[in-house]
C-alpha cells in the first residue's frame, strides 16, 4: 500500500485542498478526509502507512476529541496534531491527555509543519 | 518638625475629604457628599445630646430660682415681722407709761414743775430716751415743762401734731423738728379734768434710740431697715433712699398691719426685696411703716456661686460632648467612607472583570468564526506564494511573492489578534506551579536581550534572593511580564532605562515594579488603558488587548495592578501578587 505522509481531516474543503497542495509542493504525500467517519475508515484501512494526522476539532459528524479517541484505539502510535480555530484550554488539556502530539491554532504555519514532520520522521527511524 | 506636623495632621485628618479625588469610583459610591453626612451626623447627635441637658439645666435653674425667691421672701417677711414687733413694743411701752402717769398723777401734780421734772427723771430711768415732758391745756398753751429745751410758755395751737391729736385720747406723731430743730417723735395722752376740760401730757422721744433699734436688725451690708410715713417720707435714715425726711416714692399696696413682701425692680442692679408693715399699737395707730429691704444679689450670692460652678461644669460637659461627638462622627463617617470606597472598588473591579469576561465570550466567538476563513486565506495565499517560489516551471515573480507575503503577514497579524482574543477565555483556567520569580523574569528578558543591546536600552533587574518561590500559574505570570515588558520596550527610545524591581511587601505578597523612562501615558488615557481595544500606539502597532489581558490575568492570580505615568517622563506599573495563590477564591 502507498505511504501517505500527512492525512488532513478537515471539513473546510478549500483549506484542506490548499494545504494538501502545499504539502505536496514540498515533496510530501497527503490525503484528505472531510468528516470523522470517513477518516476513521481511512485509518482502519491504511493506518499503518501514515506518518502524521492533522485533525480539526470541529467536524460535521463527530467532535474532534471523539475522532482522536477512536484513532488512538485503532493505532496509538500515529502522531496526531490537533488543529483548531477556536480551541479552549480545556480542549488542549483533553487532547494532551488523550495522547495528541501537538495542539495548534489556525492559521497554520507551513514551515512549522514541515519542521515537525521532519522531526517525526527522524525519530521514527 | 514641619514634616512631623504634616504627618500627624494627615493621620488625624479624615480620609473622606479626598472623596472628590476618586472621581472614577463615584458611580459606585452609595453616598455622594461625605461632608454633608459628617455635618448632619454631628448636628443631629449634638442636638440629641444637648437638648435634654439644656432643658434639664433650665428647669433646674427655674426651680432653684423659684425656691430661692420663696425662701428670700419668707426670710424678709420674718425679719420685717420681728423688727415691727420690736418697734411696736418700744412705742407701746412708752405710751403705756404715759397713760399710767396721767391716770396716777392727775392734773394737779403734773401741773407742778418740780413734780413734772421728777416724773421725767423717773420715766427716763425706767424707759430712757424720753427727752422732755410737758403739760398742755386744751388751748395749746404749755402749762408746765420739764426737759433740756426752753419751751415754757409756747403755744402749740397751730402745730400740726396738736391739731391732729385733738380728737384722740392717745397720739403718736411722725418724726418732725418742731421748735427745737431736732428730729423727734411726740407721744401725747389726753386726760379730762373733773370740770370737763382736758389737758394733754406730752412726751418727746429722741429718734436716736429708734434708729439704733432698727440698726440692730440689719444683717449684712445688703440690708436696709428704716421707717417711713404713709406718704413714703423717710422717718429714719436709709441706706437706699438717703437721710431723714427725704421722699422714697414708695407706694404700699396693702394697708393691713400684717407683714407684706414685694419685689422692687431696679434699673441697673438686681431687684430689691422689700418687706413692710404698718406699725400699730393696741391703743393707737402710728404714722410709721417699717421697711426691711434686702438686695436680692447680696442674698443669693451662694446660689450665684453655685450657678457659676454649674455653668462651668455645663460648659466643660458641652465642650466634651461636642468633641466626643465630632471625633465619633469623624471616625464613623470615615469608616463608612472606607467601606463605601472598598465596595465601590470591588464593584468597579467586578464591572471591569465582567466587561472583560463578556468581551472574552464575544471575542472567542468572533475568533472562532474568523480563524477558519483566515486559515483558508492563509493556505490559499501560501499556495500562491508556493506556486511562484517553489513550483518548478512557474516564473519566479518577485512582485507576486511580495504581494502574497503582505497577505500572509496580514493573516499572521489577524491570527495574533484572534489568539489574544481566545486568551480572554483561556485566562479563566488556572494551573498552579512552584516558580522562581527571578528565573521567570530572566527567561522573559532573554527574548529582549538582543533588542536591548541593539537599541542601547539599559535593563536592570533587582530581585533579591530572599523572595520565596511563588506558587502560582507560571504561564499567566509569564504572560503578564511579557506584556508589560513588551509595552515598556515599545515605549522607550534609545538609551533609555527599564527597571524591573521585585520585593516582598509582607508575609503573603510580593510586588513587581516595571518602570521605564519612556514616552509615558497621557493622563486622560490612564483610566482607559485596561479597556479592551484601547490603544495609544499607532495603527498596525497594537491591538489594544495586551494591557486588558494583563489586567485580567493579574486579577485572576489574586493580585492588583496599578499604573503611574507622567507623559514624557515614564511609566511605572506595580503588580502586587500573592506568593501562594488561594485556589478557593478562583472561579
Measured between alpha carbons, how far is A38 from A44 in angstroms, rounded to an integer? 10
Test the A interface: residue of B364, B367, B379, B414 with most A CBs within 10 Å: B379
At B531 the pLDDT is 66
CA distance B359 to chain A (A): 15
User: Which of A12, A21, A89 lies at the smallest CB-CB distance from B375?
Assistant: A12
Question: Residue B376 and residue A14: Cβ atoms within 8 Å?
Answer: yes
User: Which of A18, A90, A105 lies at the smallest CB-CB distance from B379?
Assistant: A18
At B149 the pLDDT is 77
Q: State ipTM.
A: 0.87
Question: Residue B367 and residue A85: Cβ atoms within 8 Å?
Answer: yes
- Which H or E element spans position B294? strand B285-295
Neighbour tally for B62: CB within 10 Å = 10
With beta carbons under 8 A apart, name residues in chain B contacting A108: 375, 378-379
Is the CB of residue B555 less than 8 Å from the CB of residue B349? Answer: yes
Q: Mind listing the pLDDT tens digit for each residue in A5-36? A: 899 999 889 999 999 999 998 889 999 999 99
Question: Residue A107 and residue B364: Cβ atoms within 8 Å?
Answer: no
Task: Report chain B's mean pLDDT, rounded to a whole number.
Answer: 82
Query: Does residue A15 belong to the interface with chain B, where contact is any CB pair within 8 Å?
Result: yes
Q: How far is CA B109 from the centre of its chain?
A: 89
Q: What are phi and psi of B353, to 5 degrees?
A: -75, -30
**What are the distances in angstroms from CA B492 to CA B236, B457, B480, B568?**
110, 8, 19, 10
Q: Mind listing the pLDDT tens digit for each residue in B348-406? A: 877 776 766 676 667 767 777 788 888 889 999 988 888 887 766 656 677 888 888 88
Test the B interface: residue of A18, A93, A105, A113 with most B CBs within 10 Å: A18
Question: Residue A12 and residue B376: Cβ atoms within 8 Å?
Answer: yes
Question: Residue A90 and residue B378: Cβ atoms within 8 Å?
Answer: no
Q: Mind listing the pLDDT tens digit for each residue in B11-64? A: 567 777 776 667 777 777 788 788 888 999 999 999 999 999 899 989 988 998
* C-alpha closest to that of B371 among A102, A111, A87, A11: A87
Query: Does residue B429 belong to the interface with chain A, where contact is any CB pair within 8 Å?
Result: yes
> Which set of grid coordinates corresponds to residue B339?
467601606
Q: State the average pLDDT over residues B510-520.
A: 88
| pLDDT interval class at B586 (50, 70, 90) | very low
Percent of chain B with pLDDT over 90: 8
B551 CB-side CA count, 13 A: 23
The single-letter DSSP state of residue B139 is: T
Query: Does residue A108 belong to the interface with chain B, where contact is any CB pair within 8 Å?
Result: yes
Query: Does residue B412 belong to the interface with chain A, where contact is any CB pair within 8 Å?
Result: yes
Q: Burial level of A122, CB count in 10 A (0-12/13-18/19+)? A: exposed
Evaluate if residue B205 carries a pLDDT over 50: yes
Amino acid at each position: 500500500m502507498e505511504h501517505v505522509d500527512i492525512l488532513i481531516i478537515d471539513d473546510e474543503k478549500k483549506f484542506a485542498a490548499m494545504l494538501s497542495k502545499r504539502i505536496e509542493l514540498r515533496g510530501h504525500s497527503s490525503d484528505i478526509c472531510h468528516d470523522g467517519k470517513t477518516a476513521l475508515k481511512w485509518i482502519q484501512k491504511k493506518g499503518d502507512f501514515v506518518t502524521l494526522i492533522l485533525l480539526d476539532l470541529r467536524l460535521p459528524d463527530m467532535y474532534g476529541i471523539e475522532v482522536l479517541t477512536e484513532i488512538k484505539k485503532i493505532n496509538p502510535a500515529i502522531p496526531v496534531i490537533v488543529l483548531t480555530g477556536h480551541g479552549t484550554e480545556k480542549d488542549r488539556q483533553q487532547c494532551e491527555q488523550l495522547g495528541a502530539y501537538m495542539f495548534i491554532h489556525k492559521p497554520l504555519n507551513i514551515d512549522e509543519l514541515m519542521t515537525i514532520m521532519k522531526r517525526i520522521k527522524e525519530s521514527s527511524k | 518638625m514641619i514634616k512631623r506636623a504634616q504627618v500627624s495632621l494627615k493621620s488625624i485628618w479624615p480620609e473622606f475629604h479626598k472623596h472628590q479625588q476618586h472621581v472614577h469610583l463615584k458611580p459606585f459610591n452609595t453616598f455622594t457628599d461625605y461632608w454633608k453626612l459628617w455635618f448632619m451626623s454631628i448636628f443631629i447627635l449634638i442636638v440629641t445630646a444637648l437638648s435634654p441637658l439644656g432643658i434639664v439645666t433650665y428647669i433646674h435653674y427655674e426651680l432653684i430660682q423659684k425656691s430661692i425667691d420663696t425662701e428670700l421672701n419668707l426670710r424678709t417677711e420674718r425679719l420685717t415681722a420681728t423688727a415691727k414687733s420690736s418697734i411696736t413694743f418700744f412705742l407701746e411701752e412708752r405710751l403705756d407709761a404715759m397713760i399710767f402717769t396721767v391716770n396716777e398723777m392727775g392734773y394737779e401734780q403734773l401741773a407742778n414743775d418740780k413734780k413734772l421734772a421728777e416724773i421725767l427723771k423717773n420715766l427716763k430711768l425706767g424707759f430712757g430716751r424720753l427727752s422732755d415732758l410737758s403739760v398742755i391745756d386744751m388751748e395749746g398753751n404749755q402749762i408746765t415743762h420739764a426737759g433740756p429745751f426752753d419751751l415754757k410758755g409756747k403755744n402749740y395751737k397751730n402745730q400740726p401734731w396738736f391739731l391732729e391729736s385733738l380728737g384722740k385720747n392717745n397720739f403718736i406723731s411722725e418724726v418732725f423738728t418742731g421748735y427745737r430743730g431736732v428730729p423727734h417723735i411726740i407721744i401725747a395722752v389726753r386726760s379730762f379734768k373733773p370740770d370737763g376740760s382736758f389737758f394733754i401730757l406730752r412726751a418727746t422721744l429722741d429718734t436716736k434710740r429708734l434708729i439704733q433699734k432698727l440698726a440692730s436688725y440689719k444683717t449684712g451690708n445688703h440690708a436696709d431697715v428704716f421707717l417711713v410715713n404713709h406718704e413714703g417720707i423717710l422717718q429714719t435714715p436709709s441706706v437706699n433712699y438717703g437721710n431723714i425726711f427725704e421722699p422714697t416714692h414708695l407706694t404700699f399696696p396693702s394697708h393691713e398691719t400684717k407683714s407684706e413682701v414685694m419685689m422692687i425692680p431696679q434699673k441697673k442692679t438686681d431687684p430689691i426685696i422689700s418687706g413692710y408693715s404698718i406699725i400699730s399699737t393696741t391703743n393707737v395707730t402710728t404714722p410709721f411703716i417699717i421697711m426691711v429691704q434686702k438686695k436680692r444679689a447680696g442674698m443669693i450670692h451662694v446660689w450665684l456661686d453655685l450657678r457659676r460652678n454649674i455653668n462651668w461644669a455645663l460648659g466643660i460637659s458641652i465642650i466634651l460632648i461636642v468633641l466626643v461627638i465630632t471625633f465619633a462622627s469623624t471616625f464613623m463617617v470615615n469608616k463608612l467612607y472606607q467601606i463605601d470606597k472598598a465596595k465601590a472598588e470591588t464593584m468597579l473591579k467586578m464591572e471591569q472583570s465582567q466587561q472583560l469576561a463578556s468581551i472574552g465570550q464575544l471575542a472567542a466567538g468572533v475568533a472562532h468564526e474568523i480563524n477558519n476563513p483566515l486559515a483558508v486565506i492563509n493556505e490559499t495565499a501560501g499556495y500562491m506564494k508556493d506556486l511562484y517560489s517553489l513550483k518548478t516551471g512557474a516564473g519566479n515573480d518577485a512582485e507576486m511573492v511580495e504581494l502574497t507575503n503582505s497577505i500572509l503577514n496580514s493573516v499572521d497579524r489577524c491570527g495574533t489578534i484572534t489568539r489574544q482574543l481566545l486568551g480572554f477565555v483561556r485566562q479563566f483556567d488556572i494551573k498552579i506551579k512552584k516558580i522562581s520569580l527571578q528565573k521567570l523574569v530572566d527567561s522573559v528578558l532573554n527574548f529582549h536581550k538582543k533588542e536591548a543591546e541593539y537599541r542601547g536600552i539599559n535593563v536592570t533587574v533587582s530581585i533579591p534572593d530572599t523572595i520565596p518561590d511563588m506558587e502560582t500559574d507560571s504561564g499567566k505570570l509569564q504572560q503578564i511580564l511579557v506584556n508589560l515588558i513588551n509595552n515598556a520596550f515599545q515605549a522607550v527610545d534609545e538609551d533609555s532605562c527599564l527597571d524591573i524591581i521585585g520585593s516582598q511587601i509582607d508575609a503573603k505578597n510580593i510586588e513587581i515594579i516595571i518602570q521605564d523612562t519612556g514616552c509615558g501615558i497621557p493622563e486622560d488615557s490612564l483610566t482607559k488603558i485596561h479597556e479592551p481595544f484601547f490603544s495609544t500606539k499607532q495603527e498596525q502597532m497594537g491591538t489594544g488587548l495586551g494591557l486588558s489581558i494583563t489586567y485580567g490575568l493579574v486579577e485572576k492570580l489574586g493580585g492588583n495592578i496599578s499604573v503611574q505615568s507622567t507623559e514624557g517622563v515614564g511609566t511605572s506599573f506595580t503588580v502586587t501578587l500573592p506568593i501562594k495563590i488561594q485556589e478557593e477564591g478562583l472561579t
